[in-house]
Amino acid sequence: MTRVVAIGGGHGTAVTLRAARRYATEITAIVSVADDGGSTGRLRRQLGVVALGDLRKCLVALAGSDSVLARAFEHRFSEGDLGGHVLGNVVLAGMVEVAGGLVAGIDEAAALLHAVGRVLPATTEKVVLKATGDGVEVNGQVAVSRAGRIERVSLVPEGCAAPDEALDALAGADQIVIGPGSLYTSVLAACAVAGIARAIAASRARCVYVCNLRPQLPETEGYGVAEHVAALRRHGVAVDTVLWDPSAGMSLGDAGAADLDGTTVLERDLAGKDGLAHDPVKLAAALGDLLASVQEGRRGR
């Protein structure tokens, strides 16, 4: 068994899941539910549910190959009362209501899609993302994404708990992959849930951070690898290895090697042909090599 846990949200974690499908035998995604924009935000306000959009993207990434239903899950209506809504978000909302709980509803949707792994919310509570920086406080994921010079993010209400299933997955993981994705509004929005960072630290798994291909403006303007690692550490998340592709503009960082002390940075070719996103095949090769080297080292002992 090779157990891989991916943490984050949105398109970045979906890429990681598509990569993990190529080398892992058991896959779990732990996904932020703090989004408040678009179709997700409307459903939050209308139905009182958690953010469902990132959960949907991860389910689709794990869906059965050539699934028409998975493609339908990504269909966005353009007209009428459903205009702007994504079909998968609406289906998920119905699944959660009928199944009687968030985790149960996601599991039912995964079964419907013949998903090859499990998708779990970072928390089952309805949370709001809060950011502070330069003495200013910003609330709501969309507002945070438009803010710069962020120092720390947290969730309201404080102390929102991670589901036991997520903590169990982290405890039993062979590899934990954080990112890629928006540093504060996806990655740290998931890690800010009480217990997630502690479970990462307590796990025997090697923790890998897949750094973004370029800074995200204005959220991480001026950031290099070192600044990303420093932000993770400010939130109690220590990673063993960083995968970094400088081809699209991400520098090693101005903070210097001190901020990377104890963290191995590996330069790898990870970008897709357009240079805008990570290529799942390249990412699978890099992550698979890292996991294989750890497992070989354990057998050697």
Residue 78 has pLDDT above 70, yes or no: yes
**Please, are residues 33 and 121 in contact by the beta-carbon 8 Å criterion?**
yes
Per-residue pLDDT, 172: 97
Segment 3-27, tens digit of pLDDT = 999 999 989 999 999 999 999 999 9
Signed CA dihedral, 93, 95, 99, 104: sign only? negative
User: SS3 of 133, please?
Assistant: strand
Cα–Cα distance between 211 and 190 in angstroms, integer?
Answer: 16
What CATH superfamily is the domain 1-32+161-301?
A: CofD-like domains (3.40.50.10680)
Q: 27-31, 138-142, 243-247, 258-262: lowest mean pLDDT where?
A: 258-262
Per-residue pLDDT, 269: 96
Residue 258 has pLDDT above 60, yes or no: no
What value does the mean pLDDT take over residues 196-219?
95
Per-residue pLDDT, 79: 81
Cα–Cα distance between 252 and 282 in angstroms, integer?
Answer: 20
- The pLDDT mean for the chain works out to 92
Q: Going along the chain, which residue ranges are E strands?
A: 3-8, 26-31, 118-121, 128-133, 136-139, 152-156, 175-178, 206-210, 241-244, 264-267
pTM (two decimals): 0.94
**Please, are residues 5 and 169 in contact by the beta-carbon 8 Å criterion?**
yes
